[in-house]
Chain A
Amino acid sequence: MKKMKKVKKVVALMLALVLVASSLTGCKSDKKTTNTSTKQSEDKSGDTDKSKEPVNIEILQYKVEINDQLQAAIDTYTKENPNVKITLQTIGGGEDIGVTYKSRAAAGDMPDIFNCIGPDECGRYKDFLEDLSDQPWVSHANAGMLDLDTIDGKVYGLPVSTEAFGLIANKKMFEDAGVDISNITTYDQLDQAFAALQAKIDDGSLADKWPMLKNVTAVQGAEKWVLGDHAVNVALAPEFKEDVFAAYNAKDIQFSYKDAYKDYIDLQLKYSANAKDHAGAVSVGYSDAVQGALALGSVAVIQQGNWIYNDVNTVDPKIAENLVFLPAPVKGYKEDSIFTLVANYWCVNSQSDAKVKQASKDFLNWLYQSDAGKDIVVNKFGFLPVFDNYGDLAPKDPLSKGILDYMKAGKVISAVFKGAPGADWLQQVFGSKVQGYLTGDLTWDQVFDESAKEWNSMRNK
C-alpha cells in the first residue's frame, strides 16, 4: 500500500514537471509569435520611418588586441544610433576562429560581420559574402589593399589594417654593444651584427646593462604559423613574384628559393639558445618569445610583426619604445625588406536581413571613414591606415612608424601565403615539417620535397 502511494507521488511529480515544462515551452512559442508580430508591424511602420527601426548586428571577429577598443567604438556608435544594437564577440589569441565560423556556418547561424581573407577562404564562405563594391570606401583604398577579397571584380571585404613582419630588434641592446644596425641592408651585415652582439654577450661586457640577455635570437618553433604562415614567404614571395593569385593558381611549387628559407631560419637558430640542439626550439611559443624573452630582455631579436607592440609594452614600456624592424633577408632576392600583409577583411553576411546588412555596412563605413572612426582606428586600435583619405593620421608606436619608413623607401615584399592551399598546408604540412627539421627527423630536402608534393596533391584534388 505504502509503495503504491509512493509510486503515485512520483507519477504526480512527473506529471507536474511535464506540465511545467510544457507551459514553459508554451511561453517560449508565445513570445516568438508576439515577436514576429511586432516585427511585422515594425516592418510596416518601417516604410514611413526607417531610421528608427531597431536592428541587431552581431560581430564575431578575431583580433583580441582591439577587443576593448572596438567595444568602446561600438558604444560610441550605438549612442549616436540608438536603434542599432551591436553585439561583439572576439575569438582569437591562439584559438582558431575558423572552427567557430565553420560550426556557425554549418548551423546556418553566421554572424552579420565576420573576418575572411584571401582567395582560399573567400571561396569557402562564398555563400555568405555580401558584395561591397558600391561602398564609399572602395574608391579610397590604397593600391592593392582590396585585391585579396576581390573576386571577379567584386569587392567583398573591407581591409582591417596593414601589418608587417620581419626581424624585430631591441635597438638599445645593439647600441650598448656598440653595434650599428641602422643601415643593415644585407644578410651578411645582419649575420655580422648578430655575431658582434653575441660576442659581447659571451664576454660579459653587457651583463651590467642587460643581466638577463643570453642569446641574440629565439626561434618560435612551437608556433607553426611563425614557421609556416609567415616565414614561408621567404621562399614563396620571390617564386610567385609577390603575387598572391599566382600562388593561388599554381598547381605546383618549385621551392626555387628554398635555400633562402634555409639560410633565413639557420641565421636565427645560429644565435639562439638552441644553436647546438635545435629540438629545444620546438617548445618555444609566441608568449615565451615575446613576453617571456624579448620583453624581459633575454633576447634581442625575434621574427614577429608590429602586433607585438602592445604585448611588449605591457611588460616593459622601455623595451617597447626601442623596438625596430630589421629586414627579413631573402637571399638572392631582396635582403633589405620587410614583409607586408593585409591583416584581414571585414565581411558582411549576405544571408542576413536586408536592414541588418545595411546597418552593418553603415557601421563599417562609420568606423573607417568618419572622422571619429578614423581617430579610433588609428589612435585606439593602433592600425596603419589602408585608405588614402586619412590625412596625417598615423599610429605612434615605433614599429608602425618603422613600417611606414620601409614603405616609403619601397623596401617591402608583399606576403603571398594567403595563396597557399589553405591554413592546412601552411601549418599542418609545411610548419610541421620544419618542426621535423628542428628535431632532426627530417632534412631540409625532405621538408621541401614532401611539402611540394602535398601542395600538388591538395591543388589537384
Chain B
Amino acid sequence: MRRSKLGFWLFLAPCLIAFSVVELYPMLSGFYYSLTDWDGISATPKFIGLENFKNIFTNEKMFWSCFGFTAAFAICSVILINLVGFALALLVTKKFRGANLLRGVFFMPNLIGGLLLGFAWQFIFTKIFPATNIPFLQNWLTDKETGFAALLIVMVWQMSGYMMIIYIAALQNIPDNILEAAAIDGAGGFRRLKDITMPMVSQAFTIGIFLILSNSFKLFDQNLALTNGDPNHATEMLALNIYKTAFSANDMGMAQAKAIIFFISVAIISIIQLYFSKKREIEA
C-alpha cells in the first residue's frame, strides 16, 4: 500500500512539477499582476487593487467591442467549421476512388502554421481578389464585415480538415449492422443520417464544438497576420487586443486584468457548452 502511494507521487511528480512551473505559477503571478500598474519593465510594480478591472468595465470600450467581434466570430466558426468538417467526413467515408487522397488534401491546410497561413491569405485577399476586377472582391481586408468574412474563410479552410479527421473516426465507429437494419426497415439516406448517424457521433460533436469554440476565442496568429486588427481596430480580436495592451501600450497590469476576464468568460462558455452537449450524447 505504502509502496504504491510512493509510486503514485513519483510518477505524478514530473507532470505536477511541469504543470505548476509552466501553468500554475504563471497564472497565479498573472492574477497578482492584474492588481498592479506594472508596465512590463519596471522592477517595482505598484499595487492598485481592482483599479484595472474597474477601468475595463467603465472606460475600455474597445475591449468590449473586440469581445463582441470575437464572440460573433466564435459562433460563426463553430457552426461553419463543424458543418464543413462533418460534410467532408461524410464525403470521404463514402467508398470511391481518391477518397484517401482527398482526406490528405483536406487535412493539409492544418499542417501550415497560423502566421504563414495568415500571410498567404492576406496575399490572396489583397492581391488576387482585386486582380479579378470584380467590385464585390475589392478591399476585403479594409472593412469590418468583409474582414470578418475573410477571417472566417481562413479559419474554415484551416480547421475543417482537422474536424473531418475527428468525424471520420466517429463515423467509422458506427456499427454497420445498425445502418443496414435501418436501411432494410426502409429508412432513406437522409433519415439514416438524421436519426442514426448524427446521434451516434454526438460525442464527436461535443469535442468538435468545444475545440473550435475555445480555439476561435483564443485565435491570435491568423488575426495578427491577416489584418493585424486594421482598419482602426475593427477586426481586432480579444487575444490581439490583450497583446497590444501589454506590448504596445506598455500596460501589462491592464492586459493581465483583461486576460483574466477573458479566461473566466471562455471557461464559463466552454463549461456551459460541455454540459449541454454531454446531455445529448448517447452511448453506442
Chain A residues in contact with chain B, CB under 8 A? Answer: 96, 98-99, 102, 105-106, 124-125, 127, 221-222, 224, 277, 279-283, 422-424, 427-428, 432-433, 435-436, 438-439, 441-442
> Do residues A424 and B249 form an inter-chain contact, with CB atoms below 8 A?
yes
Quote the shortest CB–CB distance from A197 to chain B (angstroms): 24
Q: Is B270 an interface residue (CB 8 A)?
A: no
Known: A277-B139, A436-B232. Is A99-B41 also a contact (CB below 8 A)? no
> Do residues B249 and A442 form an inter-chain contact, with CB atoms below 8 A?
no
- Distance, CA A107 to CA B232, complexed state (A): 32
- Distance, CA A283 to CA B126, complexed state (A): 7
Quote the shortest CB–CB distance from A101 to chain B (angstroms): 8
Chain B, Cβ-Cβ closest to A447:
B232
Chain A, Cβ-Cβ closest to B39:
A124
Known: A432-B232, A436-B232. Is A98-B247 also a contact (CB below 8 A)? yes
Residues of B127-176 at the interface with A, using a CB-CB cut-off of 8 Å, are: 130, 138-139, 141-143
- Distance, CA A422 to CA B43, complexed state (A): 20
List the A side residues contacting B177 at CB < 8 Å: none
Contacts A428-B244, A436-B232, A436-B234 supplied; 9 other A-B pairs, CB < 8 Å: A102-B247, A106-B41, A124-B39, A224-B230, A282-B142, A282-B230, A423-B248, A439-B232, A441-B234
Q: Is B68 an interface residue (CB 8 A)?
A: no
Of the listed residues B142, B229, B247, the one surrounded by the most CB atoms of chain A closer than 10 A to its CB is: B142
The 8 closest A-B CB pairs, nearest first, are: A436-B232, A282-B142, A435-B231, A424-B249, A283-B126, A432-B232, A279-B142, A282-B231
Known: A98-B248, A422-B250, A428-B248. Is A280-B142 also a contact (CB below 8 A)? yes
Chain B residues in contact with chain A, CB under 8 A? Answer: 39-43, 125-126, 130, 138-139, 141-143, 229-234, 244, 247-250
Quote the shortest CB–CB distance from A441 to chain B (angstroms): 6
Known: A124-B41, A127-B42, A423-B248. Is A280-B138 also a contact (CB below 8 A)? yes
> Do residues B39 and A99 form an inter-chain contact, with CB atoms below 8 A?
no
22 A-B pairs, CB-CB below 8 angstroms?
A98-B247, A98-B248, A102-B247, A102-B250, A106-B40, A124-B39, A222-B230, A277-B139, A279-B143, A279-B231, A282-B230, A422-B249, A424-B249, A428-B233, A428-B244, A432-B230, A435-B231, A435-B232, A438-B142, A439-B143, A439-B234, A441-B232
> Do residues B249 and A428 form an inter-chain contact, with CB atoms below 8 A?
yes
Quote the shortest CB–CB distance from A284 to chain B (angstroms): 9
List the A side residues contacting B139 at CB < 8 Å: 277, 279-280, 282-283
List the A side residues contacting B42 at CB < 8 Å: 124, 127
Q: Is the interface of A mostly helix, strand, loop or mixed?
A: helix
- Distance, CA A436 to CA B141, complexed state (A): 13
List the B side residues contacting A98 at CB < 8 Å: 247-248
- Distance, CA A102 to CA B38, complexed state (A): 12
Which one of B41, B126, B231 contacts A438 once the chains associate, using CB atoms below 8 Å?
Answer: B231
Quote the shortest CB–CB distance from A103 to chain B (angstroms): 8
> Do residues B142 and A432 form an inter-chain contact, with CB atoms below 8 A?
no
List the B side residues contacting A277 at CB < 8 Å: 138-139
Chain A, Cβ-Cβ closest to B11:
A14
Of the listed residues B41, B125, B143, the one surrounded by the most CB atoms of chain A closer than 10 A to its CB is: B41
Chain B, Cβ-Cβ closest to A102:
B40
- Distance, CA A130 to CA B226, complexed state (A): 40
Known: A280-B142, A282-B141, A422-B249. Is A435-B230 also a contact (CB below 8 A)? yes
> Do residues A442 and B232 form an inter-chain contact, with CB atoms below 8 A?
yes
List the A side residues contacting B233 at CB < 8 Å: 428, 432
- Distance, CA A96 to CA B248, complexed state (A): 9
> Do residues A424 and B248 form an inter-chain contact, with CB atoms below 8 A?
yes
Of the listed residues B39, B130, B141, B249, the one surrounded by the most CB atoms of chain A closer than 10 A to its CB is: B249
Chain A, Cβ-Cβ closest to B10:
A14
- Distance, CA A106 to CA B253, complexed state (A): 13
List the B side residues contacting A428 at CB < 8 Å: 233, 244, 248-249
List the B side residues contacting A432 at CB < 8 Å: 229-233
Quote the shortest CB–CB distance from B213 to chain A (angstroms): 28
List the B side residues contacting A281 at CB < 8 Å: 142
- Distance, CA A127 to CA B43, complexed state (A): 9
Quote the shortest CB–CB distance from A453 to chain B (angstroms): 11
List the B side residues contacting A282 at CB < 8 Å: 139, 141-142, 230-231
List the A side residues contacting B130 at CB < 8 Å: 280
- Distance, CA A377 to CA B30, complexed state (A): 44
List the B side residues contacting A427 at CB < 8 Å: 248
- Distance, CA A321 to CA B40, complexed state (A): 44
- Distance, CA A424 to CA B249, complexed state (A): 5
Known: A99-B247, A428-B244, A432-B231. Is A283-B142 also a contact (CB below 8 A)? yes
- Distance, CA A410 to CA B249, complexed state (A): 36
> Do residues B234 and A105 form an inter-chain contact, with CB atoms below 8 A?
no
Chain B, Cβ-Cβ closest to A425:
B249
List the B side residues contacting A222 at CB < 8 Å: 230
Known: A277-B139, A279-B143, A439-B143. Is A433-B248 also a contact (CB below 8 A)? no
- Distance, CA A439 to CA B146, complexed state (A): 12
List the A side residues contacting B126 at CB < 8 Å: 283
- Distance, CA A339 to CA B146, complexed state (A): 37
> Do residues B230 and A424 form an inter-chain contact, with CB atoms below 8 A?
no
- Distance, CA A325 to CA B126, complexed state (A): 29
List the A side residues contacting B244 at CB < 8 Å: 424, 428
List the A side residues contacting B40 at CB < 8 Å: 102, 105-106
Quote the shortest CB–CB distance from B226 to chain A (angstroms): 11
- Distance, CA A441 to CA B142, complexed state (A): 11
List the B side residues contacting A125 at CB < 8 Å: 41
List the A side residues contacting B125 at CB < 8 Å: 283
List the A side residues contacting B249 at CB < 8 Å: 422, 424, 428
- Distance, CA A423 to CA B231, complexed state (A): 17
List the A side residues contacting B234 at CB < 8 Å: 436, 439, 441
Chain A, Cβ-Cβ closest to B228:
A222
Quote the shortest CB–CB distance from B252 to chain A (angstroms): 8
- Distance, CA A430 to CA B220, complexed state (A): 23
Known: A96-B247, A428-B244. Is A439-B142 also a contact (CB below 8 A)? yes
Chain B, Cβ-Cβ closest to A120:
B250
List the B side residues contacting A280 at CB < 8 Å: 130, 138-139, 142
